[in-house]
Amino acid sequence: MYMKKTVFTDVHVKLGAKMQPFAGYIMPVEYSGINDEHRTVREKAGIFDVSHMGEFWVKGPGASAFLQYVTSNDINRLDDSMVQYTCLPNGKGGIVDDLLVYRIDPETYMLVVNASNIQKDWDWLSLHAREHGLEIGKDLYNASDEIALLAVQGPLAMKIMEELTGEPVGGMKFYSFRKLDVAGIRNAIFSVTGYTGSGGCEIYVANEDGPALWDAILDAGSGYGLKPAGLGARDTLRQEMGYCLYGNDIDETTSPIEAGLGWITKFVDGNGFIDRDRLYRQKTGGVTRKLAAFVMKERGIPRKGYDIAGENGTIIGNVTSGTMSPMMQTGIGMGYVTPEYAGEGKSVDIIIRNKPVRAETVKPPIYKGASGK
């Protein structure tokens, strides 16, 4: 099967990364080991190749009205240079994808979507773009194959990037971005969002500028203990934060209300987004399941698909994400449970190899040393 490459693939191979297929790409899973890379990001800094993510441009006088319709959050709350986390409701109570929206100006937006959903998202957005008079290929443009994206994450990440930008980027607000010259590369999009819970930034550049950017960051980061990190550590880091992963914790069958994403589902006047009425009924009338985070109280590693039991051994849901936390040295995870078990401090059992293993629900972040900023 043909696998796409990023502009950094040859670099990963040269560095000895373990490469595996992911979302149609051949990607680095680990270099020095998941636990080592994870701890490096928590304590120092790591660099991730996330160029497999998709980028769409939405432009023109109808751009904001279109995005207000297809996304669940409130586009009108965005000012220039702000980023918004949101989702695409699928018209059936589920989620097409979760994504980031960057507002360049009132008529120019960049959407950043999950790699595994690029074609699906493009088809969905194209369908509704036509309804709103947007021209496919012009007002809605797929730039996914043209952009290289690196994430530099960790408590020392912004010190490294201040050396490469000459700007006080450490003071940037969470979920904001700037167009900056980075390591001599002009007008890179430099944002502060993060998926690890250890601070840091993302840098979007043209493919041809990618290798030079990678080399400059590795060179500047050498004195700070920066290391390349793979998708394995990226996954354990996001699980310690309790962040959702599309395809695990959210999908076409889960609603944002069930997934604890009510905060990106804005029922404000004038926000007539897809599925608004259905989701409002869930918000006001309740749901039959909710996503909960948990920590194992007994020895065991939860895995996706494991049953979750409540009192008397009754099955109340299933695990959607699970791992051994490198920082806590205990099993952690997330899963959908009946509402009475979704609160903090509830005792549940994870069924591991037909044996109930005790866990307790917690409020994210699961690892309290992590932070959303």
Residues 31 and 154 in one domain: yes
Query: Is 152 within a domain?
Result: yes
Query: Is 137 within a domain?
Result: no
Residues 227 and 329 in one domain: no
Residues 227 and 345 in one domain: no
Query: Is 264 within a domain?
Result: no
CATH of the domain at 302: 2.40.30.110
Query: Is 231 within a domain?
Result: yes
Rounded mean pLDDT, 254-265 = 98
Spell out the alpha helix ranges (H) of the chain: 9-14, 34-43, 63-70, 118-131, 157-165, 210-221, 231-241, 276-285
Is 279 in contact with 89 (CB distance < 8 Å)? yes
Q: Is the pLDDT of residue 1 over 80?
A: no
Q: Return the bridge partners of 140, or none.
A: 58, 136
Is 4 in contact with 24 (CB distance < 8 Å)? yes
Residues 219 and 337 in one domain: no
Query: Is 165 within a domain?
Result: yes
**Tens digit of each residue's pLDDT (9 = 90 or more) over 214-235:** 999 999 999 999 999 999 999 9
- The pLDDT, as a whole number, for residue 372 is 66
How many structural domains is the chain composed of? 2
Residues 150 and 48 in one domain: yes
pLDDT class of 2 with cuts at 50, 70, 90 = confident
- The pLDDT, as a whole number, for residue 371 is 83
Instruction: Quote the CA–CA distance of 270 and 74 in Å, as a whole number.
Output: 9
- pTM, full prediction: 0.97
Structure tokens at 315: 């099955």
**Tens digit of each residue's pLDDT (9 = 90 or more) over 153-162:** 999 999 999 9
Task: Give the domain extent around 334.
Answer: 288-364
Helix (H) or strand (E) holding 226: none
Residues 176 and 293 in one domain: no
Q: Is the pLDDT of residue 373 over 70?
A: no
Residues 20 and 165 in one domain: yes
**Tens digit of each residue's pLDDT (9 = 90 or more) over 326-354:** 999 999 999 999 999 999 999 999 999 99
Query: Is 64 within a domain?
Result: no
Is 179 in contact with 191 (CB distance < 8 Å)? no
SS3 letters across 256-325: CCCCCCHHHCCCCCCCCCCCHHHHHHHHHHCCCCEEEEEEECCCCCCCCCCEEECHHHCEEEEEEEEEEC
Distances (CA, A) of 43 to 87, 152, 156, 157: 31, 13, 8, 10
